């Protein structure tokens, strides 16, 4: 991104505001000094130096304000950065490489980086995969009698095309197309006409609805192997022009292959799974969620990962149902000049959504659906009651999708803290995201109105 000034220069002056405040305090002290002549001589000696320094501080302070005014962007994924560091120190291994693949995919599927930036980092990791010899590993071996047997993979990473059909290998093709944000919003599967279009699409692909409703591993081998070519045949009529994207898959032992996107959704669901926080066991419960997610990243812990994937499927179903309900009930989504917003009520499905990442995906689902319906694209603000603490709400602000050369990022984070402080409300940030915030229920409505005032000005 182009800023028009050197960002590293700002890092050398982290306390620009305090520098100016201190100089103001010194001036006040000098004004109170009874020795006027001494003060006059002192100012005369340092006048030129002070003027030059003040101009520099003012310039840097202006650049700093311009930098923060552009909103928040995501930097390099920590897993990707750790692999680069281990590679530079010649201590890289397959596990670090796979973690880098997962970290990059996490940024992509959660809309944290642009497509162009994803492809750039993807090509770097692909080169590392080629250098490690993963692409040339034999999948079968021939015994002395001529019998071919499968060779277990100790740990192999493969670059392949991945469909934007969420958790397809753990779901059915039909349900994945109904609930995945990409296909659901394009087909409008919340309407009878949309469901008819889906069934007609499957017929044009040569796939029976009964087969599409089977678990994906149980479908015909020919159908599974030729699925990409089948989608390519109908992409012009369906609008699925970018259904597939380049991604990573992991092979380990005799376990089925796992895609990086599946790992991201499974681990994220475990981290955000609702555990009722009691006074006695609350902190331990949330710590257990973290360690369960950590175990799911292990190649040998397939059972934990599959459990996370099934939980992610439940969350995606809730996103689809709540999104469809909000779209059909137009009064739920309120529109202002700067953004749209909605406040969810406490329901069993809301408990699944009342987590920052799940709410973020919910907002992007609404954004895509409204765009497909012909509405102008706007940022979305969503609030949901926190499970176990209905008197508190988690609020998530989602800006426009990033594009290469974007001049502005997510500006909600700039407004959230200012508004909460102006209202005198009790608030806390959520994780490392400035556009996630927790508030008391009674402050939510006034908070929304104040954010509207700031972003509309």
Q: Examine the fold and report which residue of 34, 69, 104 is the final residue of a domain before the chain moves on.
A: 69
Which pTM was predicted?
0.81
Across the range 196-225, mean pLDDT stands at 94
pLDDT value of position 414: 76
Q: What is the pLDDT of residue 452?
A: 85
Q: Which domain holds residue 357?
A: 333-456
**Confidence bin at 235 (pLDDT 50/70/90):** confident
Q: Which residue has the higher pLDDT, 346 or 407?
A: 346
DSSP structural state of residue 215: B
CA 378 to chain CA centroid, Å, is 18
Which tens digits make up the pLDDT trace of 147-167?
A: 766 656 567 899 999 999 999
Pick from 95, 457, 136: nearest CA to 300: 95
- The residue out of 21, 36, 69 marking a domain boundary is 69
How far apart are alpha carbons 210 and 5 in whole angstroms?
A: 59
* Residues 113-145 pLDDT 10s: 888 889 999 999 999 998 876 554 555 656 667
pLDDT of residue 8: 57
Among 109, 77, 115, smallest CA distance to 96 is for 77
Residue 181 has a pLDDT of 93
Residues 398 and 418 in one domain: yes
Give the whole-angstrom CA distance, residue 357 versus residue 314: 14
- Predicted confidence at residue 192, as pLDDT, reads 93
Note whether 350 and 428 are same-domain residues: yes
Query: 17 and 85: one domain?
Result: no
Residue 389 within a domain: yes
What is the band of 426 on the pLDDT scale with cuts at 50, 70, 90? Answer: low
pLDDT confidence band for 52 (50 / 70 / 90): low
CB 272 within 8 A of CB 291: no
Question: What's the CA gap between 31 and 333, in Å, rounded?
Answer: 57
Q: Tell me if 231 is assigned to some domain.
A: no
Distance of CA 441 to the CA centre of its chain: 25
Contact 447, 395 (CB under 8 A): yes
Q: Smallest Cα–Cα separation from 207: which of 182, 237, 177?
A: 177
Flag whether pLDDT at 431 surpasses 70.
no
Angle (CA) 375-376-377 rounded to 5° is 115
223 confidence band (pLDDT: 50, 70, 90): very high
Q: What is the CATH number of the domain that holds 381?
A: 3.10.310.40
- Select from 160, 182, 205 the last residue of a domain: 160
Q: Which of 91-95, 129-133, 231-235, 242-246 has the lowest mean pLDDT?
A: 129-133
Number of folded domains that form the chain: 3
Domain identity same for 16 and 97: no
Please give the mean pLDDT across all residues of the chain.
81
Q: How far apart are CA 168 and CA 109, in angstroms?
A: 15
């Amino acid at each position: 991104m182009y800023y028009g000034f050197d960002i590293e220069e700002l890092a050398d002056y982290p306390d620009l505001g305090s520098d100016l405040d201190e100089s103001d305090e010194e001036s006040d002290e000098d004004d109170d000094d009874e020795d006027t002549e001494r003060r006059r001589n002192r100012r005369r000696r340092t006048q030129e130096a002070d003027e030059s320094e003040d101009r520099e501080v003012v310039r840097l302070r202006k650049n700093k304000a311009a930098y923060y005014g552009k909103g928040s962007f995501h930097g390099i994924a920590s897993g990707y950065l750790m692999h680069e560091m281990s590679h530079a120190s010649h201590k890289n291994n397959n596990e670090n490489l796979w973690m880098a693949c997962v970290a990059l995919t996490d940024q992509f599927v959660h809309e944290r980086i642009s497509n162009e930036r994803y492809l750039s980092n993807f090509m770097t990791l692909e080169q590392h995969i080629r250098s490690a010899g993963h692409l040339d590993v034999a999948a079968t071996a021939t015994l002395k009698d001529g019998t071919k047997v499968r060779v277990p993979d100790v740990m192999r990473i493969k670059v392949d095309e991945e469909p934007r059909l969420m958790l397809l290998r753990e779901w059915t093709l039909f349900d994945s197309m109904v609930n995945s944000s990409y296909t659901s919003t394009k087909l409008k599967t919340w309407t009878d006409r949309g469901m008819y279009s889906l069934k007609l699409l499957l017929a044009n692909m040569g796939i029976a609805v009964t087969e599409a409703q089977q678990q994906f591993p149980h479908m015909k081998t020919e159908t599974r192997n030729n699925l990409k070519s089948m989608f390519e045949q109908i992409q012009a009529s369906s609008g699925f022009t970018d259904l597939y994207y380049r991604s990573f898959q992991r092979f380990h032992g005799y376990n089925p292959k796992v895609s990086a996107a599946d790992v991201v959704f499974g681990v994220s669901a475990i981290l955000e799974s609702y555990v009722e926080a009691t006074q006695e066991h609350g902190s331990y419960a949330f710590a257990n969620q973290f360690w369960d997610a950590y175990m799911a990243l292990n190649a040998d812990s397939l059972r934990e990962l599959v459990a996370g994937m099934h939980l992610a499927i439940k969350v995606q179903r809730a996103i689809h149902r709540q999104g469809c309900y909000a779209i059909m009930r137009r009064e739920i989504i309120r529109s202002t000049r700067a953004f749209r917003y909605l406040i969810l009520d406490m329901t069993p499905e809301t408990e699944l959504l009342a987590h920052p990442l799940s709410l973020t995906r919910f907002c992007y689902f609404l954004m895509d659906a409204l765009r497909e319906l012909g509405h102008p694209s706007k940022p979305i603000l969503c609030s949901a009651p926190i499970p176990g603490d209905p008197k508190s709400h988690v609020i998530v602000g989602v800006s426009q999708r990033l594009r290469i050369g974007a001049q502005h990022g997510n500006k909600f984070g700039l407004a959230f803290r200012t508004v909460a402080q102006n209202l005198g409300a009790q608030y806390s940030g959520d994780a490392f995201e400035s556009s996630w915030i927790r508030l008391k229920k009674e402050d939510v409505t006034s908070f929304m109105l104040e954010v509207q005032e700031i972003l509309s000005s």
